[in-house]
Amino acid sequence: MITLVEFFCGMGGVSEAIRQFNSAHPLRRICVERAIEIDRDCGAVYQHNFGAVDCRSIDSMDLSEVATTRSEQAWWLSPPCQPYCRRGRGAPGQDRRCDAIRAITHYLSHGDRVPSVVLLENVPEFATSEDAADLVSTLHRRGYATWSGNLCPTQFGIPNLRRRHYLIARRGTAEISPPMPPPMPPPVPSTWLFTIASILDANSEFAAELLVKTSTVDAYRGAMDLIDPHDELARAACFGSGYGKSLIRSGSYVQQGGRVRHFSPVEVARLLGFSSRYVFPDRIPMRRRWKMLGNSVSVPVVKTVLEAAFDVAAPRHCTR
């Protein structure tokens, strides 16, 4: 049994990928032994779906408490990406939001007990940051082999842009096979495993809270990513944490029945690969749901990264 500590667990995209990994590979199960998250709403959503969360700041933790001597303990790190991305401030040097990943790197550098596997997901810009350089050089010095690279759900036949940087580090010298998108069945119609239309809810079409005002669409039409659900080749833009707040470059919109609407949170969750078992507690408002989803992960991509990290062959066909 592999045990995993999910740092920065947010709404639990990695736990969702682990749930799907475990059903695909029942003989090589991963057990999340601890999930850590500072935000109480995220913690409540995580707990609603997966169980207890340690709701506190990673930078104030004693990480030797987290590390065990088990032979197969993994740490998953999804630190905040805003300090590294162009739309955030993009100047991580003094940004306090980087303190937690720096504390983890410091522990990995000096700690007596370190995990056998370290995994990380972030925006592609993270790869060229000093924080990435410090983490990777620390891992090499402590005897980890590493693989890193960018992956996008579109490579997996999923009609959604979300290019992210992934790092796999495993203690020992064995080479890490890069995560490979699973071989796909003959796609229908020609590019994607499923169409945008197939993830839309019929009752979202006229939901008042999803509609964008016609005057707003008229003013911003050229800059908005509008999707015609009849277009079988359509793909959605990357949904960011500002979806529902900022109109441009935060995600796509559905053009339906002469109106333009947002994708509902459930529709975004489907695009990200969450199964129908995943649910938000009723009290979480729509804006918060979009924000959490914008900070989350593409579940099938994370599942493939886990398969590469733990040397498990991917199933022959990618399924939803």
Q: In the complex, which residues of this chain contact ligand SAM (CB under 6 A)? A: 8-14, 36-39, 42, 57-59, 78, 80-81, 97, 100, 292, 295-297
Nearer to ligand SAM, 14 or 236 (CB): 14
Nearer to ligand SAM, 6 or 307 (CB): 6
Assign residue 158 a region: left if phi > 0, alpha if psi is -120 to 50, beta otherwise?
beta
CB of 88 to ligand SAM, least distance (A): 11
Q: Which residues are catalytic?
A: 81
176/199 Cα distance (integer angstroms): 34
Kindly tell me the sign of the dihedral angle through the C-alpha atoms of 207, 209, 210, 212: positive
- For 201, phi and psi rounded to 5 degrees? -95, 135
CB of 293 to ligand SAM, least distance (A): 8
Interaxial angle between packed helices 299-309 and 13-24, expressed in degrees from 0 to 180 and rounded to the nearest 10:
60
Nearer to ligand SAM, 260 or 290 (CB): 290
CB of 71 to ligand SAM, least distance (A): 25
Assign residue 45 a region: left if phi > 0, alpha if psi is -120 to 50, beta otherwise?
alpha
CB of 63 to ligand SAM, least distance (A): 12
Using alpha carbons, select from 258, 225, 217, 241 the residue that is nearest to residue 297.
241
Structure tokens at 271: 């695009």
Element (H, E) at 102: helix 99-110
CB of 54 to ligand SAM, least distance (A): 9
The answer to whether 9 and 15 are in contact (CB under 8 A) is yes
Give the full edge-to-edge strand order of the sheet including 225-227.
225-227, 252-256, 259-262
Nearer to ligand SAM, 8 or 156 (CB): 8
CB of 239 to ligand SAM, least distance (A): 12
Task: Enumerate residues 6+ apart whose C-beta is below 8 A from 143.
Answer: 171, 172
Which residue's Cβ has the minimum distance to ligand SAM? 10
Nearer to ligand SAM, 11 or 169 (CB): 11
Nearer to ligand SAM, 58 or 167 (CB): 58
Q: What is the dihedral of CA 126, 132, 133, 139, to 10 degrees?
A: -150
